[in-house]
Amino acid sequence: MNKNILISSLSKKTQDALFLNAQSIELSLSQDICLADQPIKYIYFPIDGFISITQNVDEKSLIEIGMIGREGMLGAEVVLGVNVHPFNGLIQGAGNALRIYTQDFMNEIEKNAELKIAIKKYLLIRIQQLGLSVGCEHFHSISARLAKWLLMSEDRAQSPTFQMTHEFISLMLGVRRVGVTTTAADFKRRGIIEYHRGEMKVLDRTALKAEACSCYQENIKIYSHLIN
């Protein structure tokens, strides 16, 4: 089984302590794993599934502001004394995760300085990535953002093939579906991706990277500087 990278960065002693209270679960596609302002009952460490973090804009609209895969965790805010989710969490990629009751996790944090420091570092990563996401949505084109988003999804799916629809992508990017459809059709025509009935496949990762905005590499750099 693949591992959660954040957990793997910790000492064996800390890993063993987390695994003692962890339960392996399946993440189902399109599942609402958490809702804003609802209690943080569990902490999740994705292994090969991944989660879209979304913000409600009004009663009818929401937009993706982050993505969590095996590089991170859901529920890190508890280290700040927060007991409710600040955002929504939607399963974007089905797979497996480790789940720990929040109280068990907090008990471990209180006696484990290494774990507390690691979670605080991860929170800083999330804050920096959130700031980057705001700038990206404002300044970068749909095609550049779509390419970045597909690369991020492929990384977390750990496979060039994953489930995705144009409607879901447009929702996550906060743009009209026609814009996503037009851009995706261009990528398909050029042999960069292919898609059929909700399944997306990256055919040419190098070309996709060339299309993506600089935010893709910047996200990777932010994470590597603080975790490695």
If you average pLDDT over residues 24-32, what whole number do you get?
Answer: 93
- The pLDDT score that the predictor gives to residue 208 is 97
Which residues contact residue 158 at a Cβ distance below 8 angstroms, ignoring those fewer than 6 apart?
2, 48, 70
Asked whether the predicted pLDDT for residue 211 surpasses 60, the reply is yes
Place of tokens 């906060």: 174
Element (H, E) at 211: helix 205-211
Q: Amino acid identity, residue 30? A: S
Asked whether the predicted pLDDT for residue 107 surpasses 70, the reply is yes
Over the range 146-164, which residues count as b (16 or more CB within 10 Å of their CB) and which as e? bbbbbbbbbbbbeebebbb
pLDDT, tens digit (0-9, with 9 covering 90-100), for 55-82: 888 776 778 888 999 999 999 999 999 9
- Which residues are registered as beta bridge partners of 100? 43
Which residues contact residue 35 at a Cβ distance below 8 angstroms, ignoring those fewer than 6 apart?
85, 88, 89
Confidence of residue 101 (pLDDT cuts 50, 70, 90): very high
Using alpha carbons only, give the angle 96, 38, 25 rounded to the nearest 5 degrees. Answer: 15
The residue among 226 and 34 whose pLDDT is bigger is: 34
φ, ψ of residue 28 in degrees (nearest 5): -95, 135
β pairing state of 161-163 and 199-202? antiparallel
Asked whether the predicted pLDDT for residue 148 surpasses 60, the reply is yes
Pull the structure tokens for residue 215.
């935010």
pLDDT, tens digit (0-9, with 9 covering 90-100), for 43-56: 999 999 899 999 88
pLDDT, tens digit (0-9, with 9 covering 90-100), for 169-197: 887 787 888 888 899 999 999 999 999 88
Asked whether the predicted pLDDT for residue 166 surpasses 80, the reply is no
If you average pLDDT over residues 199-210, what whole number do you get?
Answer: 96
